[in-house]
Amino acid sequence: MKKLIFLSLSVSVSIAQAFELKTESIGTINLNGALTGYSIYTDNKVGNDRKTRYDVGSALISISKSAEPVGFTVIGGAYSLPVVGAGLSNTSDYTKLYSALPIAYIELAPLKGFSIQVGKLPTLIGYESAFTYLNNYIQRGLVW
Task: Pick the closest to residue 138 from 6, 24, 1, 4 (CA basis).
Answer: 6
Q: Residue 6: what pLDDT?
A: 41
3-state secondary structure (DSSP) of residue 104:
strand
Is the separation of the CB atoms in 72 and 66 below 8 Å?
no
- φ, ψ of residue 20 to 5 degrees: the values are -115, 130
- Residue 55, pLDDT score: 83
The Cβ of residue 126 has, within 10 Å, a number of other Cβ atoms equal to: 7
What is the reported pTM?
A: 0.72
> Quick check: bond before 82 cis, omega within 30?
no
Q: Which pLDDT value is given to residue 1?
A: 36
Q: Determine the pLDDT at residue 100.
A: 92
What is the helix (H) or strand (E) element at residue 23, kind and residue range?
strand 19-23
What is the model's pLDDT at position 5? 41
pLDDT tens over the chain, length 144 residues: 344 444 344 444 555 567 899 999 989 999 998 888 878 788 887 788 778 888 888 899 999 999 989 999 999 999 887 766 666 778 888 888 889 998 999 999 999 989 999 999 877 666 666 676 666 555 554 444
